[in-house]
Amino acid sequence: MRALRFLGLVLIAFGVLALASPAPAQIAVGISVHVGPPALPVYTQPMCPGVGYLWTPGYWAYGDAGYYWVPGTWVLAPRPGLLWTPGYWGWGGGVYAWHAGYWGPHVGFYGGINYGFGFGGVGFAGGEWRGGAFFYNRSVANVNVTVIHNTFNRTVVVNNVHTSFNGGEGGVNYHASAEEERYSHEEHVEATHEQTEHEQAASRDPSFRASENHGHPAVAATGRPGDFHGKDAVASHGAEHTASSHESHAEASHESHATASHESHATASNKEAHSENKSEAKPAKASHSESKPKSSNKSKPKEDNKPHK
């Protein structure tokens, strides 16, 4: 009996020590699927809403209805000195697995994915912490210099590859460097409550589903988390063409229906007035045009950090 009681006390002591000690970072691997995500949409970065906001790029998440877009947005870091490492899809073991993003003192491995706006596949060139203040690189960050004075200008290399996953056929061929491996063992902080709510809100909106927008979400990025209908929300390049194509199709269908009704009515009138003079009018045929998005080419990641254009 005493032995059991002693063993119980030892287990409790180990539990307390485990809770009190800061655990090394764990790379969270979430859902895995057998179909890769669509290419990253091209969009313009919204204006930074204020001092201290950091850019978190958009990404494809996966839910019950398949892939859906989570718009890029500006968020406040959990505390000064932390930088955001984006999540990424990685191929392995016959599936595409999602590796969740996190906050940390350095930007770690994110699959070599070119998310743009400072996240060119390796590291981050959109800004840096200097003491307790964040300074923005104007060459890739969209900031209002009359409001935000902590800025600098550093030229970065342009990368126009929009592949959204690492490894596998068609994926980015890049492995973590020794430095990125070291960063993965630092103490990390999970996504903030605002970031989590932002993703969940996107999952509930059918317009963000890839099956609905065909890779061109109408809202690709926002000025603040969850503000999908605000004045700073921006569409992806190609979303306008998709909307125009749908409207053209709807108009063509409506005109076709009206034409059929007109012809049916004219036939009935001709039968009733067979002995009278006949007149015939042929309605113009409606046309429907459709543009297809260009597919992106595969290449190794470069340090990109120009906004997608």
The tokens 């998005």 sit on which residue? 293
Q: What pLDDT sits at residue 31? A: 79
Count Cβ atoms within 10 A of the Cβ of residue 32 and give its class: 0-12 exposed, 13-18 middle, 19 or more buried: middle
Instruction: Tell me the per-residue pLDDT of 243-296, one tens digit each, with 9 for 90 and over.
Output: 444 444 444 444 444 444 444 444 444 444 344 444 343 433 333 333 333 333
Average pLDDT, the chain: 79
Q: Is the pTM of this model over 0.85?
A: no
Least confident of 30-34, 97-101, 252-256: 252-256
Q: What pLDDT sits at residue 32? A: 82
Instruction: Tell me the per-residue pLDDT of 5-23, one tens digit each, with 9 for 90 and over.
Output: 544 444 444 443 333 333 3
Q: What pLDDT sits at residue 240? A: 57
Give residue limits of the domains in the chain.
Answer: 33-240
Instruction: Tell me the per-residue pLDDT of 37-58, one tens digit each, with 9 for 90 and over.
Output: 999 999 999 999 999 999 999 9
